[in-house]
């Protein structure tokens, strides 16, 4: 193969591997094919009709161009890149950095390529204070990328208003303007966009209709990646290559359709938890990104007909080999209620060799001379073997290696898998209605004025929320 690739391997979810009680029989698989096939055509149609604009991000030529232009502008002026964003404006960004930059990137001053990199996706006082102390005298060499699709995310705005004040105080208006890049959707009522325009800040656009959790291949993910030296062209190339596969009309050749169908089957057969377990530290945060994609897209109270269904597989993550010593006891002996997806890497760029055992410890000499990758991948094999002995279904996504191209493939594979799963579950995977209530309740508690809904002001509502959540000492122990 000329290019490194990823492949989905699904033998070990089949009845032949784990028996007919827990595995998928050939007949069931064909039934899944029959059910899913029309959805392939449907998704391709929806995409053509412009209803799933995330599908076209890898073909957008304007975004990488704009991103690269901004990168050139900051050349030599950015030693620290700080992203302020949360959820879909953070998880994909973090995933790209963990996958494609060395583990010691921020600490290894001499060998660092690209700026130090930070993401703040919370409003934790201690965490942010610790950062503010450190950044205090480095503001002149720092760029802040403030990301919010809707332009009014409370956490992101809060952090931004702290940084804005700091920059204005220490560097003045011009200094402030030179060090902030806003990434947001464009629209009249967009707070961040209005600030960017009024205050003459650089800004990047998130295309219309691309939801946060589907936005990593837009400016949301690409700007910080490019700034840190990640090859965004290769990332998008990998996504385009995967697009060809996940558009295939033949179910049996379409990895996203098969992946979604398998997940759908197991959810309906008592396995309501889906565990993703990479055997690679680099791929660790792609599981965090996946968790949002899966949970927010598929966790829905109502189906497309408005019927109450309360559907949604619970995604969990583990890391191999680490969590063999933490979660595998439960995975093997606990309820058979999980589908496992391993991520496995065939070849690593670097691969330390295990040293000789001391003479007094011949019992560990069998490890000597092995490379770590061989130990790690044997552990994956051993864990999968053990799970199969207990009839637990296992998928594997095989990576030839971890690089921009395969990470692009993976992201696109799982985005489209999510669309297929949404179609199979007959829910809308692109909405997140339940997030709104908590957001609005926060606004109320923070003293927002006006009406929350007809007949109920924010202030009245805040009182109700406080009553409901007030600590009753009777239940305190």
Judged by beta carbon, residue 59 or residue 385, the one nearer its own copies is 385
- Closer to its own copies by CB, 11 or 69: give it: 11
* Subset of residues 304 to 323 that bind its own copies, contact rule: CB under 8 A: 310-312, 314, 316, 319-322
Sign of torsion over alpha carbons 453, 455, 460, 465? negative
Which of 14, 83, 143, 232 binds its own copies (CB under 8 A)? It is 14
CB atoms within 10 A of CB 104: 10
Contacts (CB under 8 A) with its own copies, residues 383-442: 383-386, 388-390, 398, 402, 432-435, 437-439, 441-442
Burial-class residue 475 by CB neighbours within 10 Å (0-12, 13-18, 19+): exposed
Q: What b/e sequence results for 361-383 when a residue is b if at least 16 CB atoms lie within 10 Å of its CB, and e otherwise?
A: eeeeeeeeeeeebeebbeebeeb
Query: What distance separates the 2 farthest-apart alpha carbons in the chain?
Result: 81
Instruction: Check residue 228 for interaction with its own copies (CB under 8 A).
Output: no
Angle at which helix 26-48 crosses helix 404-425, to 10 degrees, equals: 100
Contact string (CB under 8 A) for its own copies, positions 271-300, x = contact: -xx------xxx-----x--xx--xx-xxx
Q: Which residues pair with 344 in a beta bridge?
A: 398
Q: Which of residues 143-182 bind its own copies (CB under 8 A)?
A: 152-155, 157-158, 161-162, 164-166
DSSP 8-state symbol, 249: S
Q: How far is the CB of 146 from its own copies (least distance, A)?
A: 13
The residue annotated as part of the active site, out of 159, 245, 271, 296, is 296
Told to check if 123 binds its own copies by CB under 8 A, we report yes
CB-count burial class (<10 Å; 0-12, 13-18, 19+) for 27 = exposed
Query: Helix 404-425 and helix 91-100: axis angle, to 10°?
Result: 140
Please report whether residue 200 would count as binding its own copies according to CB under 8 A: no
- 238: closest CA among 405, 410, 64? 405
Cis peptide before 207 (omega within 30 of 0): no
Among 53, 102, 207, 231, indicate the residue that binds its own copies (CB under 8 A): 102
Task: Give min distance, CB of 295 to its own copies, in A.
Answer: 4
Contacting its own copies (CB under 8 A), which of 30, 45, 62, 351?
A: 351
How buried is residue 400: exposed, middle or buried, by Cβ count under 10 Å (0-12/13-18/19+)?
middle
Task: Find the binding residues for its own copies in span 57-86 (CB under 8 A).
Answer: 86
Which residues in 322-341 contact its own copies (CB under 8 A)? 322, 324-338
Evaluated on CA atoms 82, 88, 91, 93, the torsion sign reads negative
Closest by alpha carbon to 192, among 178, 207, 203? 203
For the question of residue 439 being annotated catalytic, the response is yes
Residue 45 is among the residues annotated as catalytic for this protein: no
Q: How far is the CB of 243 from its own copies (least distance, A)?
A: 15
65 burial via Cβ count (<10 Å: 0-12, 13-18, 19+): exposed
Q: How far apart (Å, rounded) are the C-alpha atoms in residues 43 and 5?
A: 24
Smallest separation (angstroms) from its own copies to the CB of 237: 20
Q: Any catalytic annotation for residue 325?
A: yes
For residues 247 and 442, which CB has a smaller minimum distance to its own copies in the complex? 442
CB of 209 to its own copies, least distance (A): 18
Question: Interaction with its own copies in 16-45: which residues (CB under 8 A)?
Answer: none
- DSSP secondary structure letters along 406-437: HHHHHHHHHHHHHHHHHHHHTS-TT--HHHHH
Task: Tell me the closest approach of the beta carbon of residue 162 to its own copies, in angstroms.
Answer: 5
CB of 273 to its own copies, least distance (A): 6
Residue 186 sits in the site that holds its own copies (CB under 8 A): no
Q: For its own copies, which stretch binds (CB under 8 A), given 43-51, 71-79, 179-187, 346-354? A: 346-354
Q: Which CB sits closer to its own copies, 25 or 389?
A: 389
Query: Nearest approach, Cβ of 402 to its own copies (angstroms)?
Result: 8
Decide if residue 227 touches its own copies (CB under 8 A).
no
Catalytic annotation, pick one of 244, 325, 470, 473: 325
- In the shown chain, the binding pattern of residues 444 to 473 toward its own copies, with x for contact by CB under 8 A and - for none, equals xxxxxx---------------xx-xx-xx-
Cβ closer to its own copies: 44 or 314?
314
Phi, psi of 205 (to 5 degrees): -100, 135
Q: Which of 41, 42, 200, 356 binds its own copies (CB under 8 A)?
A: 356
CB 227 within 8 A of CB 74: yes
Say how many residues make up the chain: 477
Task: Please identify which residue in 4, 115, 212, 422 interacts with its own copies, judged by CB under 8 A.
Answer: 212
Q: Cite the active site residues.
A: 296, 325, 439
């Amino acid at each position: 193969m000329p290019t490194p690739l990823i492949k989905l391997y699904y033998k070990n979810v089949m009845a032949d591997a784990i028996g007919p009680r827990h595995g998928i029989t050939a007949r069931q698989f064909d039934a899944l094919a029959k059910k899913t096939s029309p959805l392939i055509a449907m998704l391709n149609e929806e995409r053509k009709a412009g209803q799933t604009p995330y599908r076209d991000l890898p073909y957008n030529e304007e975004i990488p161009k704009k991103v690269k232009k901004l990168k050139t502008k900051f050349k030599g002026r950015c030693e620290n890149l700080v992203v302020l964003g949360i959820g879909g404006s953070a998880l994909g960004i973090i995933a790209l950095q963990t996958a494609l930059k060395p583990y010691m990137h921020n600490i290894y001053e001499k060998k660092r390529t690209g700026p130090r990199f930070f993401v703040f996706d919370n409003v934790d006082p201690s965490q942010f204070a610790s950062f503010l102390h450190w950044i205090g005298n480095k503001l002149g060499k720092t760029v802040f990328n403030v990301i919010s699709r809707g332009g009014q995310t409370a956490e992101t705005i809060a952090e931004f208003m702290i940084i804005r004040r700091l920059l204005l105080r220490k560097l003045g208006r011009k200094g402030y303007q030179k060090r902030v890049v806003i990434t947001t959707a464009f629209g009249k009522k967009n707070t961040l966009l209005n600030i960017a325009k009024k205050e003459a800040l650089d800004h990047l656009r998130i295309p219309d209709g691309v939801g946060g959790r589907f936005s990593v291949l837009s400016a949301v993910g690409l700007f910080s990646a490019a700034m840190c030296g990640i090859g965004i062209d290769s990332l998008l190339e990998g996504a385009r290559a995967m697009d060809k596969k996940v558009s295939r009309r033949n179910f049996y050749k379409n990895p996203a359709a098969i992946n979604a169908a398998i997940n759908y089957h197991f959810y309906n057969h008592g396995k309501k938890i889906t565990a993703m377990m990479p055997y690679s530290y680099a791929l660790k945060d792609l599981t965090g990104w996946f968790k949002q994609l899966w949970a927010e897209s598929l966790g829905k109270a109502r189906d497309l007909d408005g019927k109450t269904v309360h559907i949604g597989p619970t995604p969990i993550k583990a890391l191999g080999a680490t969590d063999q010593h933490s979660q595998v006891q439960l995975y093997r002996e606990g309820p058979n209620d999980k589908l496992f997806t391993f991520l496995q890497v065939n070849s690593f760029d670097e691969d330390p060799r295990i040293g000789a055992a001391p003479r007094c410890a011949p019992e560990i000499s069998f490890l000597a001379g092995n490379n770590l990758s061989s130990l790690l991948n044997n552990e994956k094999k051993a864990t999968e073997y053990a799970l199969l002995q207990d009839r637990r279904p296992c998928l594997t996504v095989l990576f030839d290696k971890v690089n921009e191209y395969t990470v692009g493939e993976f992201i696109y594979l799982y985005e489209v898998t999510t669309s297929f799963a949404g179609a199979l579950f007959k829910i809308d995977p692109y909405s997140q209605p339940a997030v709104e209530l908590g957001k609005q309740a926060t606004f109320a508690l923070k003293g927002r004025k006006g009406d929350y809904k007809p007949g109920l002001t924010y202030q009245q509502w805040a009182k109700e929320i406080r009553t409901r959540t007030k600590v009753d000492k009777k239940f305190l122990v």
